[in-house]
Amino acid sequence: MWKSVASNALTFLVVVLFLLGGVILWGQSQYTSDGPLAEAICLRVERGSNMMQVSRDLEREGAITSGAIFRLGADYTERTDDLKAGSFLVAPGASMAQILDQVTRGGASTCGTEIVYRIGVTRTSVQVRELDPARNAYVERASFNPAEEAAPEVYGQMKTRGDTRYRIALAEGVTSWQIVEGLKAMDILTGTVEAVPAEGMLAPDSYEVRNGTARAEVLARMAEQQRLRIAATWENRTPGLPLASPEEMLILASIIEKETGVPEERRQVASVFVNRLNRGMRLQTDPTVIYGITRGEGVLGRGLRQSELRAETPWNTYVINGLPPTPIANPGLASLRAAVDPDGSDYIFFVADGTGGHAFAETLDQHNRNVARWRAIEAERANSND
């Protein structure tokens, strides 16, 4: 009898262990396999939240099949206390293991609200936008010019959220004065700016910042980025250029930047100026004349007068020989590269062609024909606006 009882008990124990092992294997499979999420979602984890709340949110969004398994996975991997606040983009089919890694690894938020401060050549603007997870594209919520308009209510609301990301975007061709004035208008930054940095020494780029970042710190990052770009570009320059130093490269790059907004033209524009320097011709470029008038403080907002083209300033390349004494803006990386790797053309002239680009010429006769075509386009546009 006791043998029979013992045998049955052993059999029962084996069955229980077998079933338990099956449950564990099933749970592991649920934890590591692709999840049920059909479209990406933005999971927001508030400060002070916990795994229970996060697992409930994930269940409600249809991102996981079991909150209990998700929490067990966090316990087993000893990451229950590693939960980070922020907004996390959860991809379609993400497993529980992948989601747990996202919400415990930390770092910058990958979705949610972003406030972008854009410092452009003609204006500074603030854009409040939010990521649409399903399309993985940002949707604009508000946009305004802080120098001219009151901030909309949504801007103040988003600034109170701890997971809002902040970014400063510098356009290529902005001046150092414009950058400083733009930073002064940003209410998320702190501290003063003692002096405007040297022209050309701030890198146009996109910079992540935090609410409360010092303006001096932001300028230091921009300056370091430009320093590295200048050094690397000069190191890889084409031999035989009429440029004696990185400073001259920077000056030429700034002129290229202001002369064309068409990326494909940069090396052609560079070739015109390099050819003129090699031939001892004056550069005769309007942006340098404008800089001599404004000194980079704002936009001229009108055409140049003949008297201004003839006026003697250190930057008027219709009057001076060679390069002006300083850059006339902050050039981007592409213009720096164009300055030291110009197109191998014989062009020495160019003029607008009516499409946003330029018509290039090797001789004065070709250039005069291009100018005549441009004048005809200008006249036609003027007549159509009457």
User: What are the tens digits of pLDDT across the range 165-201?
Assistant: 899 999 999 999 999 999 999 999 999 999 999 999 9
Higher pLDDT: 248 or 383? It is: 248
Contacts of 195 (CB under 8 A, 6+ apart): none
35 in a domain, yes or no?
Answer: yes
- In a shared domain, residues 170 and 273: no
What six digits make up the tokens of 76? 């087993």
Q: Does 381 share its domain with 238? A: yes
Looking at the fold, whether 269 and 364 belong to one and the same domain comes out as: yes
| Residue 24, domain member (yes or no) | no
| CB-neighbour burial class of residue 217 (10 A; exposed 0-12, middle 13-18, buried 19+) | middle
Predicted confidence (pLDDT) at residue 17 exceeds the cutoff of 70: no
Query: Do 371 and 241 share a structural domain?
Result: yes
Q: Is residue 285 within 8 Å of 255, Cβ to Cβ? A: yes
Q: Per-residue DSSP letters for 222-258?
A: HHHHHHHHHHHHHHTPPTT-S--SHHHHHHHHHHHHH
Q: Given pLDDT bands bounded at 50, 70 and 90, which one contains residue 74?
A: confident
| Residue 4 lies inside a defined structural domain of this protein | no
Radius of gyration, CA atoms only, the chain:
31
Whether residue 163 is contained in a domain is answered as yes
Lowest model confidence (mean pLDDT) among 92-106, 226-240, 293-307: 92-106
Indicate if 85 and 107 belong to the same structural domain. yes
Percent of the chain with pLDDT over 70: 91
In a domain, residue 20? The reply is no
Average pLDDT over residues 117-124: 93
Two structure tokens written together for 101? 């890694």
User: What is the pLDDT at residue 184?
Assistant: 94
Residues 137 and 267 in one domain: no
| pLDDT of 9 over the 70 cut | no
Confidence of residue 26 (pLDDT cuts 50, 70, 90): low
User: Would you say residue 15 lies in a domain?
Assistant: no
Token pair 């992948």 in the structure block, residue: 98
Q: How confident is the model at residue 16 (pLDDT cuts 50, 70, 90)?
A: very low
- pLDDT value of position 281: 95
| Contacts of 101 by beta carbon, 8 Å cutoff, 6+ apart | none
pLDDT of 328-342, one tens digit each? 999 999 999 999 999
Cα 108 from Cα 54, distance rounded (Å): 18
Please report the pLDDT score of residue 108 as a whole number.
66
Task: Tell me which of 211, 230, 249 is where a domain ends.
Answer: 230
pLDDT for position 174 = 97
Which CATH number does the domain housing residue 56 bear?
3.30.1490.480
How many domains does the chain contain in total?
Answer: 3
**Based on the domain organization, do 250 and 356 belong to the same domain?**
yes
Select from 179, 206, 230 the last residue of a domain.
Answer: 230
1 in a structural domain: no
Q: Which residues make Cβ contacts (< 8 Å) with residue 115, sequence separation at least 6?
A: 126, 127, 128, 129, 155, 158, 159, 164, 165, 166, 167, 188
Q: What number is the average pLDDT over the span 66-90?
A: 84
173 and 310 together in one domain = no
User: At which of 183, 204, 230 does a domain end?
Assistant: 230
Give 103's pLDDT tier (boundaries 50, 70, 90): confident
Residue 174 in any domain: the answer is yes
Per-residue pLDDT at 5 exceeds 50: no
**Comparison of pLDDT for 57 and 306, the residue scoring more:** 306
- Considering only 21-25, 222-226, 360-364, which range has the smallest mean pLDDT? 21-25
Question: Per-residue confidence at 370, pLDDT binned at 50, 70, 90?
Answer: confident
- Looking at per-residue pLDDT, the higher value among 134 and 225 belongs to 225
pLDDT at 25 > cutoff 90: no
Residues 378, 236, single domain; the answer is yes
pLDDT at 55: 86
User: What does the mean pLDDT of the chain come to?
Assistant: 87
Are residues 181 and 306 both part of a single domain? no
pLDDT band at 11; cut points 50, 70, 90: low
Q: What is the DSSP letter of 304?
A: P
One domain, residues 87 and 202 = no
Q: 147 pLDDT band (50/70/90 cuts)?
A: confident
Confidence band for 46, pLDDT divided at 50, 70 and 90 = confident
Burial 350-386, CB ≥16 within 10 A → b, else e: bbbeeeeebbbbeeeeebeebbeebeeeeeeeeeeee
Higher-scoring residue by pLDDT: 311, 31: 311
Burial of residue 61 (CB within 10 Å: 0-12, 13-18, 19+) is middle
- Averaged over 202-225, what is the pLDDT? 96
Q: Do 254 and 381 belong to one domain? A: yes
Locate the DSSP E strands across the chain: 41-45, 86-90, 113-119, 124-132, 137-144, 165-170, 206-209, 349-352, 358-361
Domain holding 217, by residue range, is 113-230
